[in-house]
Amino acid sequence: MTENARYVIIGAGIHGLSTAWSLARRLRATGKGDGADVLVIDKTGVAAGASGVACGVVRNNYFQPAMRELMAHSVDVWESDPEAFAYHGVGYVQIAPEGMRFDVEQIYAEQRAIGYESELVVGQEACHAYMTEMFDDWQAPGITAVLHEKRGGYANNVASMKGLAAKAEAEGVTIRTGVRVTGLRLDGGAVTVVQTDQGDIGCDELVVAVGPWIRDIWAMLELPDRIQVTGSDGTVHPDRSMWTYWALQEGTLEVDPNEFVDNRGQLPPVLHVDSDQPLYDDTDGSLITDELWGIYYKPDFSFGGVQGGAAPVPVSRPAAEVAVDPYGPDSPEFVVGEDFVRMWTSALAHCHKRFEGKRSLYRREPSGGIGAFTPDSFPVFDVFRQNVYVIADSNHGYKMLGVGELVAGELLGEPSALLEPFRFSRYKTGRLHPTSNSPFPWS
């Protein structure tokens, strides 16, 4: 016997839960239904995947105008209920070298244009003075641009998802965990049945919000695993992989978060440092890299220390294996290597004297996760197979709390200008997002 639900949402992470919550509210407000029309299913549980291991940073620091506008909307949502979302609005600081100065200045100008509050400091002496006013032990050389976003910050990953789930359930949404999708039945080009290990579920509309498992559902939708991509310069790349997996490198230095405070004794903003200066091992003085590098970090009581990360690395295992279960016991989230530990702890010491000689305090535990990246490393929000809304965040996901509200509107016939730049058609037309000089692939 087939169960039926008007809206079926696959995935109980940031996008699935935020879409369910907003959709239920909109249905009730418009008299078109209520939360009883919305069913969320997840193969494990709330925040069991990427959202549950996210670093939790919330920022608007994007070189791409479309990403910046979308993130400004998401920050509004985070700020709407900080307690329920376990959100800490401490701000965000980008610290950059001369090679990225133009990018940072452009971000600042465009943040001003949309009314997003931030402060820009340029020039090596001025930047050093700004940072030492914040931290008296600041010692990173070669910084010529500092962009201090007064909004943004970070949230507790699991606590925020539980808060979001509670909001959805309060609107009447059903969240059913331990339900694994095994297939999709297409009829006339549309998905009419979601097949699971707990039985079939009929649906009118399907929302796919599965994070790094997107390629599995993509295949069930009979969509191509390789596509043509037209570059912004008109160059056609006929055979690009739709999904590429990267291992996120994140970890925790087990120091008292209360000890990493600014000169006023307050918790600092999230810090993101990019540098073109040689990075030397904090233990033996050997050269780690003389190329552009970057880290991010923050004191975080939910992690119990100073937590952060560096640029991700391509997954070395065969991609087909990763797609089976990106968060399984053999996934790269469990094998963040010594190279990362050496680099990240040395970079912390490069920036702050207080972190010199602290590598022994690095917590040896699973961290990071797996991200499924699109061909241009930016999200895809679009409808496929007539009635399937795909949310493929390309690892930008956790911070984008506001996407669910916009997707809910589109499901009810309200097109979103903020989501329009992220349609799948851009790969054919070449309307790609600009890229910056950052060492991080998502920029």
| pLDDT mean over 167-176 | 98
- What pLDDT, on a 0 to 100 scale, did the predictor assign at position 370? 82
- What pLDDT, on a 0 to 100 scale, did the predictor assign at position 334? 43
In a domain, 140, yes or no: no
Tens digits of residue pLDDT in 205-254: 999 999 999 999 999 999 999 999 998 888 999 999 999 998 888 999 99
Q: What is the percentage of the chain residues whose pLDDT exceeds 70?
A: 92
In a domain, 214, yes or no: yes
**CA-wise closest residue to 267 among 234, 238, 294, 307:** 307
Q: What is the 3-state secondary structure (H, E, C) of 224-284?
A: CCEEEEECCCCCEEEEEECCEEEEEEEEEECCCHHHCCCCCCCCCCEEEEEECCCEECCCC
Asked if pLDDT for residue 338 goes beyond 70, the answer is: yes
**Structural domain boundaries enclosing 209:** 1-88+153-238+377-443
User: What's the CATH number where 430 sits?
Assistant: 3.50.50.60
Q: What is the percentage of the chain residues whose pLDDT exceeds 90?
A: 79
Tens digits of residue pLDDT in 253-300: 999 999 899 999 999 999 999 999 999 999 999 999 999 999 999 999
- What pLDDT, on a 0 to 100 scale, did the predictor assign at position 366? 63
**CA-wise closest residue to 212 among 374, 384, 425:** 374
In a domain, 120, yes or no: no
- What pLDDT, on a 0 to 100 scale, did the predictor assign at position 281? 97
In a domain, 252, yes or no: no
Asked if pLDDT for residue 165 goes beyond 60, the answer is: yes
In a domain, 71, yes or no: yes
Tens digits of residue pLDDT in 139-156: 999 999 999 999 999 999
Position 365 confidence tier, pLDDT thresholds 50, 70, 90: confident
> Hey, is 64 helix, strand or coil?
coil
In a domain, 58, yes or no: yes
Position 302 confidence tier, pLDDT thresholds 50, 70, 90: confident
Asked if pLDDT for residue 318 goes beyond 60, the answer is: no
- What pLDDT, on a 0 to 100 scale, did the predictor assign at position 193? 97
As a whole number of angstroms, the distance between CA 287 and CA 25 comes to 55
User: Whole-prediction pTM value?
Assistant: 0.93
Asked if pLDDT for residue 368 goes beyond 80, the answer is: no
**CA-wise closest residue to 43 among 182, 165, 176, 179:** 179
- What pLDDT, on a 0 to 100 scale, did the predictor assign at position 329? 46
Contacts 24+ apart (CB under 8 A), 313-322: 313/246, 313/247, 313/249, 314/244, 314/245, 314/246, 314/247, 315/245, 315/246, 315/247, 315/370, 319/241, 319/243, 319/244, 319/245, 322/212, 322/245, 322/370
Asked if pLDDT for residue 416 goes beyond 80, the answer is: yes
- What pLDDT, on a 0 to 100 scale, did the predictor assign at position 55? 85
Domain count along the chain: 1
- What pLDDT, on a 0 to 100 scale, did the predictor assign at position 333? 44
- What pLDDT, on a 0 to 100 scale, did the predictor assign at position 316? 62
In a domain, 62, yes or no: yes
Position 18 confidence tier, pLDDT thresholds 50, 70, 90: very high
4: Cβ contacts below 8 Å, ≥ 6 apart: 201, 202, 203
In whole numbers, what is the pLDDT of the chain averaged over residues?
91
Asked if pLDDT for residue 82 goes beyond 80, the answer is: yes
> Hey, is 406 helix, strand or coil?
helix
In a domain, 7, yes or no: yes
